Amino acid sequence: AEFGLFDDGETLRVAEDIQNGDWSVLAKEAARGRFRPVYWIQYAHIYALVGVQPTWFFLWNTLLFMAITALTIHIVRRIGGGVVQAAATGLLLVLAGPLVENIYTLSKPELLQILLILAAVTPFTRIIRGRRNRVLAAIWATLFIFVATLTKETSVIMVPISAAWLLAALASARREGRRGRATRWETLLMASSVATLAYLALRSQFLEVSLSEGSYTNNLELSVARLIDSTVRWSGWLVRDFAWLAPLLLIPILDLVDRKLEHSRLLAGSAIWTVAWILIYLPWEFTVEYYMLPVAIGVSIIGGAALNSTVTRIREKRRSAWAWLSLGLASILWLTTLPNNYSNARQQLAVDTSNARMLEYLVLQVDDVQDVIVNIQYENEYVYEVRTYLQEVWGLQGTSVEVFSPGEGLAPGPLLVASPFVLHQPLLAVRMGVVESTQSEWNQSLAETMGSQTEIAFEWEESFGLVLIDLPRLLCAALPDRGYCAAERPFIDTREFSYGWKIYELPGDPGG
């Protein structure tokens, strides 16, 4: 298996346009309600250096994630966490589920966005003394948060996060009589607010549509039904990736009751961060794992602190039975995430490899056969990407790419018909452009339309044995009618996942 750029045709096309001085992407994104110039500049620079070389794009993702991990560990140390606690935080983050799709796929701004935000926050993890240092910290944070908003719009969440951190600091300072501890959070709130206002002002210069009017941003909906539905879907992802945190919080809760809680500010600040990043996505139509990168950071910090408290209890033999119980349950639940994440990564690479091989074959054949039909139920991202690659990335302007419609049949040849297939597709996993149930129906319709005489010109399949432990299925007792629960799946799934493409070549009329 190997990396591929099939999902990133638009990214490559825009990168080339920017390299040639064409910034029309900003106008095109305006109709969608989006304004992300730094996001596009990032990939334009990589493209200028390496061209269409997937390995180098993913190396960049890896470097970004390494920087995020290092900065997260550094923040834990600055706030007072020990070496072991910081190392545990880093380990939990490196092996977290949301990292798979963020690193293994492009067109995801979360890595750069979160790195910029962490860089902005770092100076405020210790008391800032002196007016000059506060001014420098404010300028630093304003610049980094502003650039983060130009990478992805959700960075504006730093305003309410900073406000919540300030309120928590004020409450703590009032109890301890140390008002100066809250000053730095006032500075961060001011910096976040200035950065957000600057972003909105710049956005208004390029975009005339509001968030509710954009063809993409209008997927936001602040209705009770949407919030409930999103909460249920996010619950599944949280149980899948972070169920281990629940038993690990037992000892910090007991310490809180005993008024012996260590790292209370670190725990409270991380909890605010984590909850805020969940809340901002509740009104959004889509629920995908890679959105949870900042959640993974917050949970990892909380987990590292909770693990430190648990080990301390065991060493001091204070309620050590509870500590061992907490540690044992958390370890078992955490271990279940490892095969899930491994299968997730294998699935992503299998899909990328099959898509890359299919696209390579089409590029070689379209000189002779210029009409391509993609056998997918709706004209989704896969159809768009095939068209973008053939017509714009590879410059084959004479090629037409359409979606198969069973009711209309197939036009006279010569035609290339590309048809994906998938078997034993996991539900809570990396995103794919096909769904097993509907794709099987569409493949059957295509077979009936073409008849048994049509031969396969090309076929590529990637497969591997799944190892999935489906903890979210335990929630189905309360929600049996949900789509996820309605599908019958084994609790421990070791079936063979397979995904690939078949390409049929329909010849033209010999007498034509």
442-476 residue pLDDT tens: 999 999 888 766 789 999 999 999 999 999 988 88
pLDDT tops 50 at residue 512: no
pLDDT digits (tens, 9 = 90+) for 52-91: 888 888 899 999 999 999 999 999 999 999 999 999 999 9
The rounded percent of the chain whose pLDDT value lies above 90 is 59
Average of per-residue pLDDT values in the chain: 90
The per-type count for the chain, helices as H runs and strands as E runs, is: 19, 7
Distance in angstroms (rounded) separating the CA atoms of residues 41 and 33: 18
Q: How confident is the model at residue 413 (pLDDT cuts 50, 70, 90)?
A: confident
The predicted-structure confidence for 309-328, as pLDDT tens digits, reads as follows: 999 989 988 778 999 999 99
Instruction: Classify residue 491 by burial, with Cβ atoms within 10 Å: 0-12, 13-18, 19+.
Output: exposed
At 178 the pLDDT is: 65
Give the range among 189-203, 249-263, 325-339 with minimum mean pLDDT. 249-263
Per-residue pLDDT, 1: 46
Which range has the worst mean pLDDT, 178-182, 186-190, 346-350?
178-182
Assign 3 a pLDDT band (cuts: 50, 70, 90).
low
Contact 298, 263 (CB under 8 A): no
CB 237 within 8 A of CB 292: yes
Full-prediction pTM beyond 0.85? Answer: yes
The token duo for 503 is: 């390409």
Chain segment 348-374, per-residue pLDDT in tens: 999 999 999 999 999 888 877 788 999
DSSP character string of 161-181: HHHHHHHHHHHHHHHHT-GGG
pLDDT at 2 over 70: no
Reduced to 3 states (helix: H, G, I; strand: E, B; else coil), residue 503 is: strand
Alpha helices by DSSP H, listed for 122-214, are: 131-149, 158-176, 183-206
Evaluate if residue 44 carries a pLDDT over 80.
yes
Tell me how far apart the alpha carbons of residues 471 and 243 are, in angstroms, rounded to a whole number: 8
**pLDDT range class, residue 511, cuts 50, 70, 90:** very low
Residue 347's pLDDT band (cuts 50, 70, 90): very high
Instruction: Give residue 270's Cα distance to chain centre.
Output: 19
